Amino acid sequence: MIMELKVAEKSGAEILVQTLLDLGVDTVFGYPGGAVLPIYDALYDHPKIKHILVRHEQAATHAAEGYARSTGKPGVVLVTSGPGATNAVTGITDALMDSIPMVVITGQVATNLIGSDAFQEADTVGITRHCTKHNYLVKQPSDLAGVLTEAFHIATQGRPGPVVVDIPKNVQVAEAEFRSHNGKINPRYQPQIDGDFKAINEAAEMIMQAKAPILYTGGGIINSGPKASETLCQLAELLGAPVTSTLMGLGAFSASSEQWLGMLGMHGTFEANMAMNRADLVVCLGARFDDRITGRIDAFSPNSKKIHVDIDRSSVNKTIRVDLPVIGDVGRVMEQLLAVLKGRKFNAPDYEEWWARIKGWRATNCLAYPESKTEIMPQEAIRKLWEATHERDPIITTEVGQHQMWAAQHFDFEKPNKWLTSGGLGTMGYGLPAAIGAQLGDPDALVIDIAGEASIQMNIQELGTASQYRLPVKIFILNNEYMGMVRQWQELTYESRYSNSYSDSLPDFIKLAESYGWTGILIEDPSDLEAGIKKMIETDGPVLVDCRVAKLANCFPMIPSGAAHTDMLLTPEDVKGTMDDNAKALV
């Protein structure tokens, strides 16, 4: 006699928690509320999932991003309906722009109340349709395990991104048979991993003919995993060509290499931008020709052939026409390219003339900054921070603004997954929660949020989260009492009419930190800088440093909006102070 195998029924909330466990989730960033109470009750019985209670849902999303970016695992967020979901939207959009794998579970009012303007109801699926890679409204508990499994697959495969799963409260309470979906991958989303063999051969051909090639790398290499960074090093070594990177790609290639030109683009180095402009072959690896990179489109690298390796076909020819697109995982494609080049016994020329020109551009020493005995120069503060910490492979997060660009310029990264910043969306308030997420992912790491006094206030409430979970996060505020990047643009574009860019009524950051149980350190004098940084590193537990820096320092070099790579402003003396309307209209 054949027995019918009975599968036990579980509530939607229990199915959700069990599926998260099956998928290997051990950390969830969230905030409870009415529409997720059944899920929180289920979590109560599952200590294997560590729930991190943030102080604001936006911070939950950034913490999940920091966790994801530093560990390579997807970040998981759990928030309630209505305001819980809408507060998460900024971080979800940030993850979409920077291709961060993230699954956001939102509570929703019961299915019979949807559309009735119920308490804490928002059309979460509608609101997040444009800021997610994909999203779901789950209407039956029996669908939950399958949907969640697909959500994690979509978030992590191909070009990573955020996926929202909206779960009405009655679906969390109702029961259904539960079968684990572990390992069952939905066939409808299968991105191309291997590059087309013909295209790889053509790329090899183009590389073999180049006289002035450059590798332009991006965040895709970080997303592809640490192995892709190793492959990049091998490829660069074989080619002997210069390497530059976007903001998101920093760390994929060692900054101490002779072949490293520094970051390119708006606040990139003179040598990187000039080399892009004069190259005869640009090999774009996991980057997307963002407007911060290209400057004026019609003047971008005008004489080069362009190869574009990207896992997302829609990135190809979006802003810059390329000669050869190669669709695939950038790590895999680089491996294929290496194999073909080695197979053809490619012996790179020494590009003597090319390197001689690069040497000339390097001689401008574009990252030099004026020295001061009376004020702390912000660039100097970053250099000193690097000197004091780099041997410990710190994880650096940032907020958004001048301090972010100075960190990108003056903090040299040697390894991937150590640099967490909001690139595409440019979200002030990203750094502190991202640092919290990164610290949870690697409890022993030295995690430092390089911040500005304006940005840090956008998620300052997260000081409490770090205290609660005993996370020894460090915050290093470059305090110039201005929204510095706004002020810099007003100086460059609007004749120094500083409309609303002064940070008035600042808190006493030291007292504020202390009230949350942090250690606060004030650094005011250049002579105290090194000792202050040392004290920050040596102090156990979370530390906030309020480092008072030169108030009117600007971030150079800079390509003004609407200008070409060759029109960089190198020093304050290059600034005209006015701009025409066409330039003003650009962001």
| Closer CB to other proteins, 111 or 201, in the complex | 111
Cβ contacts of 187 within 8 Å, gap of 6 or more = none
Mark whether 169 is an active-site residue: yes
> Considering the rule CB under 8 A, would residue 314 count as an interface residue with other proteins?
yes
Q: Single out the residue of 44, 119, 189, 498 in contact with other proteins (rule: CB under 8 A).
A: 189
Mark whether 4 is an active-site residue: no
Supply angle C-alpha 171, 176, 178, rounded to 5: 120
The distance of closest approach from Cβ of residue 6 to other proteins in the complex, given in angstroms and rounded to an integer, is 29
Q: Single out the residue of 73, 227, 318, 357 in contact with other proteins (rule: CB under 8 A).
A: 318
Mark whether 418 is an active-site residue: no
Do the bridges between strand 9-11 and strand 175-177 make them parallel or antiparallel, or are there none, so unpaired? antiparallel
| Closer CB to other proteins, 320 or 348, in the complex | 320
Stretch that binds other proteins, among 240-248, 308-316, 391-399, 471-479 (CB under 8 A): 308-316
Name the active-site residue from 10, 133, 169, 418. 169
- Block residue for tokens 């993850």: 95
Cα–Cα distance between 165 and 151 in angstroms, integer? 8
How far out from the chain centre does Cα 116 lie?
A: 38
Cβ contacts of 364 within 8 Å, gap of 6 or more = 270, 271, 570
Tell me the two tokens of residue 292.
């911060």
The distance of closest approach from Cβ of residue 102 to other proteins in the complex, given in angstroms and rounded to an integer, is 15
> Considering the rule CB under 8 A, would residue 196 count as an interface residue with other proteins?
no
| Closer CB to other proteins, 163 or 366, in the complex | 163
> Considering the rule CB under 8 A, would residue 184 count as an interface residue with other proteins?
no
| Closer CB to other proteins, 86 or 566, in the complex | 86
- By rule CB under 8 A, what string of x and - marks binding of each residue 205-244 to other proteins? ----------------------------------------
Cα–Cα distance between 579 and 569 in angstroms, integer? 14
| Closer CB to other proteins, 86 or 364, in the complex | 86
The distance of closest approach from Cβ of residue 465 to other proteins in the complex, given in angstroms and rounded to an integer, is 33
Q: Could you give the strand order of the β-sheet that contains 543-548, starting from the edge strand earlier in sequence? A: 419-420, 395-398, 447-452, 474-479, 543-548, 519-523
Q: Single out the residue of 130, 184, 211, 470 in contact with other proteins (rule: CB under 8 A).
A: 130
Q: Single out the residue of 179, 321, 342, 470 in contact with other proteins (rule: CB under 8 A).
A: 321
Q: Is the dihedral of CA 136, 169, 81, 66 positive or negative?
A: negative
The distance of closest approach from Cβ of residue 288 to other proteins in the complex, given in angstroms and rounded to an integer, is 12
> Considering the rule CB under 8 A, would residue 298 count as an interface residue with other proteins?
no
Stretch that binds other proteins, among 125-133, 208-216, 337-345, 540-548 (CB under 8 A): 125-133
Mark whether 485 is an active-site residue: yes
> Considering the rule CB under 8 A, would residue 134 count as an interface residue with other proteins?
yes
Of 535, 407, 534, nearest in space to 477 by CA: 407
Residue 254 · residue 238 · CB < 8 Å: no
Name the active-site residue from 57, 380, 399, 491. 57
> Considering the rule CB under 8 A, would residue 581 count as an interface residue with other proteins?
yes
> Considering the rule CB under 8 A, would residue 316 count as an interface residue with other proteins?
yes
> Considering the rule CB under 8 A, would residue 112 count as an interface residue with other proteins?
no
Name the active-site residue from 48, 119, 205, 234. 119
| Closer CB to other proteins, 363 or 585, in the complex | 585
> Considering the rule CB under 8 A, would residue 357 count as an interface residue with other proteins?
no
> Considering the rule CB under 8 A, would residue 587 count as an interface residue with other proteins?
no
Residue 10's DSSP bridge partners are 176
Q: Is the dihedral of CA 105, 111, 117, 118 positive or negative?
A: negative
Amino acid letter, residue 208: M
Amino acid letter, residue 75: G
Residue 478's DSSP bridge partners are 452, 547
> Considering the rule CB under 8 A, would residue 126 count as an interface residue with other proteins?
yes
Q: Is the dihedral of CA 432, 437, 443, 447 positive or negative?
A: negative
Q: Single out the residue of 317, 365, 496, 527 in contact with other proteins (rule: CB under 8 A).
A: 317
DSSP 358-379: HHHHHTT-TT-----SSS--HH
Q: Single out the residue of 179, 184, 211, 313 in contact with other proteins (rule: CB under 8 A).
A: 313
Residue count, binding to other proteins (CB under 8 A): 20
Of 441, 576, 437, 461, nearest in space to 518 by CA: 461
Encode 195-224: b = buried (16+ Cβ within 10 Å), e = exposed. Answer: bbeebbbbbbebbeebebbbbbbbbbbbbb
- Block residue for tokens 């992912």: 441
Name the active-site residue from 263, 334, 458, 485. 485
In Å, how far are 99, 117, 329 from 325, measured between CA atoms?
A: 20, 48, 12
Show the beta-strand stretches assigned E in 383-481: 395-398, 419-420, 447-452, 474-479
Residue 531 · residue 524 · CB < 8 Å: no
Stretch that binds other proteins, among 121-129, 262-270, 340-348, 359-367 (CB under 8 A): 121-129
> Considering the rule CB under 8 A, would residue 291 count as an interface residue with other proteins?
no
Catalytic residues: 57, 119-120, 169, 485
Query: Where does this chain bind other proteins (CB under 8 A)?
Result: 125-126, 129-130, 133-134, 137, 154, 188-189, 312-314, 316-318, 321, 581-582, 585
